[in-house]
Amino acid sequence: MQVKKNPQADLNKNSGLYFVIGLAIVLFVTWRALEYKTYPKDDILVDMIEAVDELKEDIPITEQIRTAPPPPPPAAPEVIEVVEDTEEIEETIIESTETSQDAIVEEILDVDDVEAAEEEEEIIVPFAVIENAPVFPGCENAGSNEERKACFQRMVQEHVRKQFTYPPAALELGITGRVFVQFYINTKGQVESIRTRGPDKLLEKESHRIIASLPDMTPGKQRGQAVKVPYSIPINFIIQ
């Protein structure tokens, strides 16, 4: 059988290739259309400034005031008269206040006229070795020195128990501990130089107050002379 159509005149030849090419062109144009961006254009206004070539200012005409020249200085007199000073001036003589060596009178003092001031030496004797211990009020009837020491210690402890008050702030915070107190009984029997050392300032302050309230005592004596006696005592702060 003979083919009637010419193979070169076939319209369907290469149709698939043309379809792919057309599809690619359409996709490319679509992609470029989607990616195309436009930007707004700003209107630029140009102001024209006209500059003035010359600035002309009208200056008012003022009248010039002419002042008269100053008068010339007075001329010196041709003849100078010399006037004699006939008034007498009394001269004031200023006497020197310095004293010459001839006017110095040396005063010789006799040795008996000079009184030497005696300085009292402060003697400190420990409580354990003092001959006559300080006497606490109420211990006057104690016999020996050892009995007076024992009475002194007992009365000091009793005084601490009576005057003891737990600080409210320390009680609230639960602060406890032992405070060591050292003080001196001076030659007048008074308590002085109180020093405290403890775990908290509140406890130290209360211990200082208790010892400062000790009454006046009979001072301690060493070889018949009143001396200064140190004493120390611990105060325990315990919450029960």
Q: Is residue 161 part of a domain?
A: yes
User: What is the structure's pLDDT at 234?
Assistant: 92
**Predicted pLDDT of residue 15:** 78
Does a structural domain hold residue 210? yes
Q: Domain count of the chain?
A: 1
Report the CATH number that the domain containing residue 198 is assigned in CATH.
3.30.1150.10
Q: What is the pTM of this model?
A: 0.49
Region label for 153, one of left (φ > 0), alpha (ψ between -120 and 50) or beta (otherwise): alpha
- Residue 200, SS3? coil
Distance CA 142, CA 61 (A): 125
Say if 21 falls within a structural domain. Answer: no
Q: Is 162 within a domain?
A: yes
Whether residue 96 is contained in a domain is answered as: no
Residue 120 lies in a domain: no
Angle at 96 between CA 93 and CA 98, to 5 degrees: 175
Alpha carbon separation from 177 to 85, 104, 146, 171, 203 (Å, rounded)? 101, 73, 31, 12, 8
Per-residue DSSP letter, 187: T
Residue 49 in domain: no
- How many angstroms separate the CA atoms of 123 and 118, rounded? 15
Q: Which domain holds residue 153?
A: 145-237
Is 191 inside a domain boundary? yes
- Average pLDDT across each block of 10 residues of the chain; the chain has 240 residues. List them in order: 59 78 91 79 48 51 68 61 55 55 51 55 84 87 85 90 89 89 90 91 92 90 89 88
